[in-house]
Structure 1
Amino acid sequence: MFTHKQLPAGKIVFIGDSITASGRQKDRDELGFGYVRTIRDIYISEGKGAEVRILNRGVNGDRITDLADRWMKDVMEEKPDYLSISIGINDVWRQLDQPEEKQVTPNEFREIYKTLLAETTAGTNARIILMEPTVIEEDLHSEGNSRLIPYVHIIRELAEQYDALLIPVHQVFREFIEQFSEYQLTTDGVHMTSSGNMLLAKTWLEAAGRASQ
C-alpha cells in the first residue's frame, strides 16, 4: 500500500507512444485505458486524487523524432511539475516491421533525447522521470529485444546525466517474464494486457514513491 507522502503531488505530464496513449482519444477523461489511468486510479484510492492533475500526451506510433516535433506544445507550454517520458519501442520496432523507412539509430536517439531534456531543464522546473522501454516480444532473446538493449542503456545514461528519476521498466519486465512466463504482459509482443499495464503502473509508483521520500 502506498502512503500519501510517497506519491508526488502536482501536475504530471505523461508523454510517449501507444503504450502511454492506450486509447486516450476514445476516453472522455483523455487518460486512456492503460498504465496512466491505473496510476491515476491509485492516487484516487489513496485519497490523493485532488492533489494531482495527470495529462496523457501519448501518441500511437511515436518515435523520439515525433516527440521532438510536438515537444513545445505538449511539454514546454504545459510546464508540468513532473514529466514522465516513455519512448524507444517504435524506434526499434520500425526497424523490424518497416525497414524501408528512415530509421532512428542509437546515436540519433541519444542526441535528440539529450536536446529535449536540455530544453526541459532550461525552460521548466519539472522533475524529469525517464521510463525504460518495455519489451518487443516476450521472448527475451528475440531480435527486437536484442536491438532494444542500446536504447535502454542510453536512457539509463541520460537519467544519470540529467539527474532524472529512472523507472526500470525493461529490467522489471525481463525479470517477470523469466519468473512467470505463463502470464502474458502484452497482446502482440508490444501493447499491454491489463497485467502489463498494472506492472507498469506499479513499477512507476514504487520508483516515484522512493524518490519523493
Structure 2
Amino acid sequence: MELGKRIVFIGDSITEWGRYEDSEGIGTGYVRLLHDYLRVSAPEKNFEIFNRGVGGDRIIDMKQRWQQDVIDLTPDVVSISIGINDVWRQLDHPGMEQVSPEVFEATYRQLLDQVKSCQLILMEPTVIEENLQSEGNQLLKKYVEIVNQLANEYQAVLVPTHRAFVQYLAKNSRYELTTDGVHMNSAGNMLMAKTWIEAVEKRTE
C-alpha cells in the first residue's frame, strides 16, 4: 500500500489543536507533526493535507459533518481519531444523552461504509487522565476494542495510540503527555505522531 496524496485527518479537539489560529489550517498538534514529516520525507508527492478536527466532537457530531468535511474533499486517505468525548461526556455531563459502545460502533460503521474506497487509518482513542486506573480509562477500554475490531474488519491501518500511551505511562516517566489529562502537550503530540508513522510505514513497506 502506497500512501495516497490527499489526506483528511478528522476528529475532536486533539486533532483540531490550533487549526483555527493557523493560516494553513493545519494546527499545532499531531497533525502538524505529520504534515511536516510527510512533506519532508516525500517532497515529490506534494501531499495535500486537511485538518478537520472539531473540539468537543463525539462520533455522532462527526457524523453530521461527514459529507462536508470528508466526502466532499474526495480524499485518498482518511485518518480518524474519535472516542474521547464519547466517554468523557459520561463523566462530566452524565445528564446528557450518551454515546454507548453500541451506538459508537454502529455510527462508526456507517461512516466507514461511506469511504470504503479510501485508504483508512483508525487511531485508538488515547487516554482520559494519566492514571491508568481512572474511571475514564476503564470506560474507554470498550471503545478502544471497537476501533481495533473495525480496523480489522475494514482492513484499515490501526494506529495503537491508546496502547502507546498505556505503555508509556506504565513506565512512570516524569514527563507528562497532556495538559489536563486529555489534551496533548508537545510530548503527547509527538507520541501520537510517532505511533501513526510507525503503523502507516509498517503497512506501506
Normalising by structure 1, what TM-score?
0.93
Please state how far the C-alpha of 1:164 moved relative to its aligned partner: 0.7
What residue is the counterpart of 1:35 in the other structure?
30
Q: Which amino acid aligns with 2:123?
A: M
1:108 aligns to 2:108 (yes or no): no
Q: Which amino acid aligns with 2:23?
A: R
1:163 aligns to 2:158 (yes or no): no
Q: 1:49 to 1:30 in 2, by over 3 A?
A: farther
Please state how far the C-alpha of 1:42 moved relative to its aligned partner: 1.3
Q: 1:82 to 1:202 in 2, by over 3 A?
A: same
Q: 1:48 to 1:180 in 2, by over 3 A?
A: farther
What residue is the counterpart of 1:191 in the other structure?
183
Aligned residue pair count: 205
Matches within 5 A, 1:81-160: 81-121=76-116, 125-160=117-152
User: Contact 2:39/2:46 (CA < 8 Å) preserved in 1?
Assistant: no
More divergent stretch after superposition (39-48 vs 107-116): 39-48
Stretches of structure 2 that go unaligned for 5 or more consecutive residues are: none
**Counterpart secondary structure, 2:73:** coil
Stretches of structure 1 that go unaligned for 5 or more consecutive residues are: 1-5
- One of 176, 179, 197 as aligned partner of 2:171: 179
User: Contact 1:43/1:49 (CA < 8 Å) preserved in 2?
Assistant: no
Q: Distance in 2 between matches of 1:100 and 1:193?
A: 30
CA offsets, 1:12-51, max 9 Å, x none? 1000000000020111010011000001111233252752
More divergent stretch after superposition (162-171 vs 40-49): 40-49
Q: 1:7 to 1:126 in 2, by over 3 A?
A: closer
Q: Distance in 2 between matches of 1:119 and 1:71?
A: 9
What residue is the counterpart of 1:3 in the other structure?
none
Q: Distance in 1 between matches of 2:72 and 2:201?
A: 26
Q: 1:176 to 1:70 in 2, by over 3 A?
A: same
